[in-house]
Amino acid sequence: MKPITLVGLSCCLALGLCSSPVLAQADHTASLNQLKTYHFGGDQAVLETVAQWVNEARQNPDTQRQAARELAQVLQSDASFDAKQWVCRQLTLVAGEEQVPALVGLLHDEALAHYALMVLEHIPGKTVDDALQHELTTSTSRPQLEIINTLGERRDVAAIDALAPLLGSTDAAVAEAAASALAKMGDARAEGSLRQAYEGATGDRRLLYGRALLRGADRLRVVGDAPSALTTYELLERNPANAELNAASLRGMVQVNGAKALPLLLDALAQDGSPVQAMAVSLVREISGHDVTQKLAERLPKLTTTGQLLLIAALRDRGDGMAAPAVMGLFRSPDANVRMAAVDTLGAIGDAATVPLLLQIATTGQGEQREAARTSLARLRGQAVDNKLLSLLNQAPPSSKAEIISSLGQRHVIAAVPKLVQEARSPQPAVSVASWRVLRDMGQPSDLPTLLNIVATKPAEERSGVLDAVAEIARRGTDENQRTGAILTQLAKANNPALKADLLTVLGQVGGSRALTTLRKSLADPAPEVRLAALRRVAEWPTDEPLQDLLRIVRNTPDEKQRAIALRGYIRMIGLGEQRSPEASVALLQQVSDLTKSLDSKRLVLAGLAHLKSQAALDYAATFLTDKSVQPEAEATLVEIGQGTVGAWRDKTRAALQPLAQGATDEAVRKRASEVLALSDKFGDFIMAWQVSPAYQSAGANWQKLFDMPFAPEQPEHQKEVSWRLMPVGTNAEQPWLLDLLALWGGEQKVAYLRTEVWSDTARDAVLELGSDDGVKVWCNGQVVFADNTQRAVAPGQDKVTVRLKPGSNQLMLKITQNVLGWGACARFTNPDGSAVNGLRYTVPTDASAAHPGAI
């Protein structure tokens, strides 16, 4: 709307004058006159003005009638086709009976009749109905078809007498439109006309009437005239124009008569491959009642294989156990598919009475049928089924007992555990194995003393699966005594070295301080196999607590096998010490390397070194390059370490890798060394020497709240607890400067910290250029110098912060938040004028240099 029009309209509303039809006419005469010459594609300002006027006019009955009159006058003028079409759309909002003559005047215009009828359809009252019936007799072609359709949409029963003769029109389109309109009436008289036409028609015309008849019957049923609807359904079922109408009529009769239509459904089930059979199978799922199930079950054995398969599936979906005996009877069918379907269905509708038969098939059956019986036994519902399985367990032969036990396990029948503990002693392997398999999942720590006594009686070759079950049960204990008490008691009683070795293996799997103490003690057991079992578990311990025990064995044992196991465990545990510095880890490796000089031990040390990304690891790995026996491994290790250290110690790493890029023994190592060197060339002046903290989260806190939550790196009392590690760099080839926290930690709604040490040759102001995904907070020498709790993707130089650097060491720490998707940061220093800064060096902090940022 133009500004002056809006102002004028506002004034009218304020003064209460908009209700005046005379004023409204005066205000809009010009716009309506302009509208008469409108063509689509032209200036739409006039459309907006008139539409606004119509919308405001609807707020008051008087102004709505006036707007309708003025719009109707446009229809009776010499206005353009586009204008009249658009006016009709507005009239659907405001027109009444007063506008009917103007609209009827358009019905003989094929181009505008559709739009006029669109308005007439929305005007209630007899005036429209009479006008449409009158026009029906004089109209032709497309307007006539649209008038017929509008009479049907209005459900004008007074038009039935005018529409019914049109069913006999030689124009198929007119006959179809009339049939469709009569079907919409929901009137018995209209349906009668359609039935009469249907019974006298043939071919396509008969099918046309039949489809309309079906829609009409459905409408009658909805409006409550079930008898008239049933008359049509019975006609179509008795004398269908095609198979689809026959099936649809069956649906209608079931919807009207319910279970009384069951005989028709039963007959339809026997018509293999027909639409009516498919409809019947669908409908039997919808009629409820045990009596219906009983009759369906009685018909089941009389059907063909196809019919049986369809009805079995329907009975399964009905879920009524009344059908179970009939389904069980099909187990004798000569058709394998029928037998399979019956077995499967019993799982859904069976009860305790079906257990023996399913159990027999699960025991003696073959292939898929046997598996289906096992699945059905597990799916049967009810406590009575559990009780039946337990009662059968007492008297079943060994082959059946194993199946019963498996079913009890699948059904998770906890009440069966005492009985299963007894069966675990069975001399029959199938029964014993099945019992232990189920006890693994359902046994409780209170069962362990009895189970361990059984373990003690078993030959060594039969204990493997049993020991796994014992370990799994023990792990369910709620405290250490529940988890290991019974095992330690049994171990104290054991005299057989093989049994002691097995019990030690279980202890190692369960874990706990008492278990570790016992394992350490057993490292000195007089029996070699006991010592070896204890050593294997100690070497696989999940923490580095027994590190020194392993070192003593490497140093002292004359047994090469034990030394190799201890050495592997020792090297593995070096990587588990999160609080241990990289230098200390390398020193531990050097210590063990001095004790053993075998080729395998050297390779193990190099393999351990490859995981230690530090300057010390780089230096130590280089000492192996002159040892021809492990030179290829040493070269590969050096490159592996260099990939992790090239950010923190760029110059030293490059010096170590450049010779390998030219002359390493293996081509793949030469290529990888060259790639690391090329990567370092792309770092530019970005800071790449960083340590990263663990990722932190807090329940219920999103990234915005986490930004202001202090975690250990910010807290003086907890700072020493932080497990800082070297930040991997160069993980994104497209963004070599990116510190990719998402690749390292993953996840959402987290924060992590990055820290580095900046050495400056003089006091200076430098500009810290930052990029972050998402928010970033910056500490320099213990002071927060920048904070932006934002959400964004990372790019260099998103923020620029002037920082005062002191001579010597400066501590820099970043906190980076993570919402979703990307997570990372980048940083570099420039002079205030944007030029590169000379006299700065970067390195990862040491424990001594990196005091808490708030305490510097």
Bond prior to 525 in cis (omega within 30° of 0): no
Count the neighbouring beta carbons within 10 Å of the beta carbon of residue 213: 25
Q: How far is CA 508 from CA 460, 487, 536, in A?
A: 18, 11, 9
CB neighbours of 483 closer than 8 A, spacing ≥ 6? 445, 474, 475, 477, 510, 511, 512
Q: How far is CA 188 from CA 86, 123, 217, 229, 233, in A?
A: 39, 25, 9, 8, 13
**b/e burial code for range 336-374 (CB count within 10 A of at least 16 → b):** eebbbbbbbbbbbbbebebbebbbebbbebeeebbebbb
Where is 828: in which H helix or E strand? strand 824-830
8-state DSSP, 546 = T
pLDDT value of position 593: 82
Span 702-715, pLDDT tens digits: 999 999 999 999 99
Contact 131, 137 (CB under 8 A): no
Contact 615, 638 (CB under 8 A): no
Count the neighbouring beta carbons within 10 Å of the beta carbon of residue 31: 18
pLDDT value of position 847: 61
CA distance 795 to 797: 6
Q: How far is CA 187 from CA 38, 167, 197, 230, 499, in A?
A: 45, 16, 16, 13, 89
- Counting Cβ atoms within 10 Å, is residue 398 exposed (0-12), middle (13-18) or buried (19+)? middle
Span 213-230, pLDDT tens digits: 999 999 999 999 999 999
Beta-strand relationship, 764-773 and 725-726: unpaired
CA distance 90 to 101: 17
Determine the residue type at 70: E
Question: 3-state DSSP call for residue 111?
Answer: coil
CB neighbours of 507 closer than 8 A, spacing ≥ 6? 484, 487, 488, 491, 515, 518, 519, 537
Mean pLDDT in each 10-residue stretch from start to end of the chain (856 residues)? 34 35 55 85 85 89 90 90 90 89 88 89 88 83 87 87 89 91 91 91 91 92 91 89 90 90 91 91 91 94 94 94 94 93 94 94 91 94 95 89 95 94 92 94 94 91 88 94 95 94 96 96 95 96 94 91 92 83 87 81 90 90 92 94 92 94 92 93 93 94 95 89 90 90 94 97 95 96 95 95 96 96 95 92 74 38
Q: How far is CA 261 from the centre of its chain?
A: 44
pLDDT value of position 713: 95
* Domains of the chain with bracketed CATH: 1-94 (no CATH), 446-681 (1.25.10.10), 691-843 (2.60.120)
Beta-strand relationship, 776-780 and 783-788: antiparallel
Determine the residue type at 32: L
Cα dihedral: 152, 155, 161, 162 (round 10): -40
Report the phi/psi class of residue 822: left, alpha or beta, with left for phi > 0 and alpha for psi in -120 to 50.
Answer: beta
Structure tokens at 330: 């099909």
Q: Which residue in 569, 510, 517, 523 sits closest to 543, CA to CA? A: 569
Instruction: Please give the backbone phi and psi of residue 611, each rounded to the nearest 5 degrees, phi first.
Output: -90, -5
Instruction: Please give the backbone phi and psi of residue 49, each rounded to the nearest 5 degrees, phi first.
Output: -65, -50
CA distance 196 to 168: 11
Half-sphere exposure for 491 (CA within 13 Å, toward CB): 23
**b/e burial code for range 484-501 (CB count within 10 A of at least 16 → b):** bbbbeebbeebeebbbbb
pLDDT value of position 25: 44
Structure tokens at 170: 């030689």
CA distance 538 to 560: 17
Contact 203, 175 (CB under 8 A): no
- End-to-end distance of the chain based on CA atoms, in angstroms? 66
